[in-house]
Chains A and B, each alone.
Chain A
Amino acid sequence: MSPTPLSYFTADGERAAHIVPLTWYMLIVSIAVCVVIGVMLLNGVRRARTGGGDAQTRAIPVERGTNGSHWIGIGVGVSLVPLIIALVWTMITLAAAAGPPPHPGLVLDVTAHQWWWEVQYYSDDPSQSFTTANEIHIPVGERVLVRLHGGDVIHSFWVPKLSGKTDAIPGQVNISWLQANHPGRFRGQCQEFCGLQHAYMGFEVVADTKDDFVQWRAAQLRPAPEPITPAQLRGQAIVEYRCGLCHEVRGTHAAAVAAPDLTHLMSRRTIASARLTNNPGNLLGWIQDPQGIKPGCLMPNQYLSAQQLHDIQAYLVLLR
């Protein structure tokens, strides 16, 4: 990822790319206006008598001075030019970027929760639908329709390199869309204050080549692999009776939907809503002490023994 993953000076997808030139135009106009006004102000003040107080002020006689109303006429008149360009350009860009795309190649239902993202891949064939979390895979080049649902409070869905913000509001379905020009990982972030862990409510959009995407989708449709070793079996049991209170691992007794689906946990690059890189050390640290890493998050600390942690790790690494 780039050194500034949430910067929108550059775009990697069609929707964001519509906006970049307009952003630059408005930014340059804005800076130019500040410079021009600054120069005019300095020019006016340059002639001023400095080091003044009340006596120096009184010493300068008052004069009616020239009328000067033409300053206002000319100033406002000149300002109108960039303003009207901005207005027209805004409307053109709005029409192009608003969407939704007429023939989306893929439809996703994204539900924003405190403080994670539930992602459902929709298909007319129910056996082709599945749920994942916090990592959205899309095929390169395809326009992807995103239907946004509010799970609890208002959140905002934002992938600056691909698309501007759209709020996820409970009680209504909002529409956004994504399209990536090339394969890569693009950082997304909740942008509407939604409570204690708003700061770390991130996600990633992964643009895959067509083949990779098909492969990924097929892998996601499979249930979780069966445990084999005794450690894995014990680990699965712990996951079922503890983690299963909130999480789902398809094909096991862990079947709750209050928290991210873990069926293919190890296929994701990050955990804890993009807070941590997904490696065994971070994973166990997160399971043991989520309140230390993300204070106020809805996952309770687990207080597991070393043996239990070891078993859980043995099982979780299977979930590819």
Chain B
Amino acid sequence: MKEPDFRTPTVGSATAELQARLHSIWETEPGLKGVFGTTDHKTIGIRYIVTAFIFLVLGGLEALAIRLQLAGPNLSLMTPDQYAQFFSTHGMTMIFLYALPILSGFSNYLWPLLLGGRDMAFPRLNAFSYWIYLAAGVFMYAGFLIGNGPNDGWFNYVPYAERNYNPGFNQDFYSLGMVLLGISTTVGAANFIVTAMRTRCPGMSINRVPIMIWGTLTANAANLLVVPSVSLAFFLLWMDRQFGTHFYDPVGGGQPLLWQHLFWIFGHPWVYAIVLPAMGMVSTGLPVFCRRPIVGYALVILGTISTMVLGFGVWVHHMFATGLSGLSLSFFSGASIMIVVPSAIAVFAWLATITLGRPVVTTAFLYFSSMILLFVIGGVSGFMTASVPVDWQLTDTYFVVAHIHYVLIGINVFPVLGACYYWFPKMTGRLLDERLGRWNFWITFIGFNLAFLPMHLTGLLGMPRRVYTYQPDMGWNTLNLITTIGSFVLAFGLLLFFINVAKSVKTGALAGPNPWDAPTLEWSVPSPPPPYNFAVIPTVASANPLWEDRLDEKRALSSIEQGLLLDKGKESIATMAIDAVPDMILEMPEDSVAPAITALGITASFVGMLLKAIWLGAWILVGIGALITLIGLVMWLWPRRDLREREPVERGPSGRRQVREVTA
């Protein structure tokens, strides 16, 4: 087989014949093989979103149970042990199984569409990342369902998590599940980074990338650096528990604070990782409803990146009360106060965009714009806890619980719901109902603030977090009752959202390719997009390719209708990292069940590691799992002629397959 190593891809326009050919190349096979083998980023993205919403519902139900227990003093709906498992599982679910995966879901679905590509850089790794996420979620919930859920809070301090104080399986499920989930997050992060760097369509230089991409890219760069820290922390905990090592055991010379450092070196950047992509959603969606480009595009991106960079240097603000020296605390305090500055950039950019634009109130706009206020409330309460002496009073009270909920609901759930209203038409071809949307928004907004705004005061009046009940003479009774009522209103608001989705997915108004007249590339393709996304790879010349005609971009002339055909197989284009000059033709892998098999094998090994009977766990289950993993990896990595990765002698002059010439 003598194929040339490099070829000049044909440039053309999208014909019906081309679309049919691409469709047959890119379509996922029906049946079980397609279900377990698909590598279509859109399918994987929707799976992520649906799974994450299921976890949101589970975590929400746990929250309602918690709020019933706390509705009044000295209630006994739950035992202290049940309560500990409920609040810990609630935290684990919302922070690890909902907040990041939902954003990964949107990013998975949208990235190639926003970037003008046909899939993520590593489609099989993408499928693998989802399967591991699902497995880790089921793994951790398996513990909860048999009464062995995590019971030491989501940040799981030692020595309470050690075997002497916590002899059940609770912490084994949690620690192994977190290591497992770390695999998913890490490979996902690598995939996002390479996708953003190398698979943007020609012309999409880094100053033309939608802000949504920047948010997720920044977050995933952070994940790649910090997830090893938490995986290590949980792995050492498992070693302590399973083999009696003494990493955290002071009696054996270990250090309880080691856990806190390892955890928060991960934990604080993680907070940014679960809000920056959501802020990116707002920066991308909000301007569409203000009918103008965002104010300060470059500044917002620089703000995003500097938030993340500073975010690596503030983890000790979770440890102000641990007895570290005042001098070291003061540095972390200073950094934590000054991190307000890059966040303020985004706030003023959004405010200016609304004020200088011509806003139109849609449900998505309501979610995006109200998020600005919630972001500020969550931000200033964070600013208060950044001051060491003030934090000595605030920390571990309900003030911090209010803060974390303004951050996670205000800056994650609200933008995500806005994003649902905004991108649902793209995903399904149908619009969500706006009328029901208004009810959904206002009830959610009122319920949320009713539940969590008074909670700041509960904290200032000294209520400790993580208590299963409280005494009636502490001055917290009314406030807790209000919060409980608010939480049910909030839950009802969210229920309306799910009703809206269920209703609109079948009967919503047809959307057409670009219902909001939005500027980015995903709106140039039909809704829902075909399996190959773009019939021809577009070439862009500005940050808002679909608005160019109206924005009077002098030199900008993006080419959407005409572009690279790349129809000789499952192909897409790779471009250079900075200026997006075409670099090579990507041969994308076929669908494969190998990622699912590999994930199954790894999960089986983790189940084996859970067992305390060493011979049974280690030698039988772990062995079987390792074998399955090996089979999966061999299938996955089996060299294939049609991917043309094995004929280096015939490569082009520069050593890689090249696109010689592109005319757009």
Contacts and interface: CB of A to CB of B under 8 A. Distances in A.
Interface string B581-621: 00000000000000000000000000000000000000000
B319 to A, nearest CB: 9
A211 to B, nearest CB: 30
A157 to B, nearest CB: 9
Given A41-B369, A71-B349, A154-B157, A61 B291 contact: yes
A93 interface: yes
A268 interface: no
Contacts of B516: 54, 57-58
Interface residues of A, number: 99
Contacts of A3: 473, 475
A57 B514 CA distance: 11
Interface string A289-315: 000000110000000000000000000
Given A33-B380, A71-B295, A192-B396, A94 B250 contact: no
Interface string A1-35: 00111111100000010110011001101110110
Interface string B410-423: 00000000000000
B373 A38 contact: yes
A249 B270 CA distance: 51
B427 to A, nearest CB: 15
Nearest to A16: B393
Contacts of A71: 295-296, 348-349, 351-352, 355-356
Contact of B390 (A9, A19, A175): A19
Contact of B341 (A74, A79, A190): A79
B337 A87 contact: yes
A27 to B, nearest CB: 7
Interface in B339-360: 340-341, 344-345, 347-349, 351-360
A64 to B, nearest CB: 5
Interface string B319-334: 0011100100110011
B242 interface: no
Interface in B285-319: 288-289, 291-293, 295-296, 299
A163 B392 CA distance: 8
Interface residues of B, number: 102
B397 interface: yes
A33 B379 CA distance: 10
B323 A67 contact: no
A195 B81 CA distance: 8
Contacts of A169: 256-257, 322-323
Nearest to B516: A57
B442 interface: no
B358 A60 contact: yes
Contact of A171 (B256, B338, B463): B256
B431 A54 contact: yes
Contacts of A192: 157, 321, 396
A23, A29, A275 pick with most chain B CB within 10 angstroms: A23
Given A83-B338, A174-B323, A190 B464 contact: yes
A296 B353 CA distance: 55
A27 B384 contact: yes
B323 A172 contact: yes
A153 B80 contact: no
B393, B460, B469 pick with most chain A CB within 10 angstroms: B393
Interface in B420-477: 425, 431, 434, 460-471, 473-475
A189 B460 contact: no
Interface in A189-235: 189-200
A171 B361 contact: no
Given A27-B384, A71-B349, A170 B389 contact: no
A52 B362 contact: yes
Contact of B360 (A49, A165, A295): A49
A62 to B, nearest CB: 5
A197 B80 contact: yes
B380 A22 contact: no
Contacts of B357: 65
Given A54-B515, A72-B295, A164-B392, A156 B321 contact: yes
Given A34-B380, A90-B389, A97-B389, A64 B322 contact: no
Interface stretch (B6-14, B167-175, B546-554, B656-664): B546-554
Interface of B: 79-81, 84, 152-153, 157-160, 165, 250-251, 254-257, 288-289, 291-293, 295-296, 299, 321-323, 326, 329-330, 333-334, 337-338, 340-341, 344-345, 347-349, 351-362, 365, 369, 372-373, 376-377, 380-381, 383-384, 387-393, 395-397, 425, 431, 434, 460-471, 473-475, 509, 511, 515-517, 519, 547, 550-552
Given A8-B460, A57-B362, A91-B330, 6 more contacts: A29-B380, A49-B359, A65-B293, A167-B322, A172-B323, A296-B81
7 contacts: A33-B380, A34-B376, A94-B329, A114-B165, A153-B160, A165-B392, A198-B466
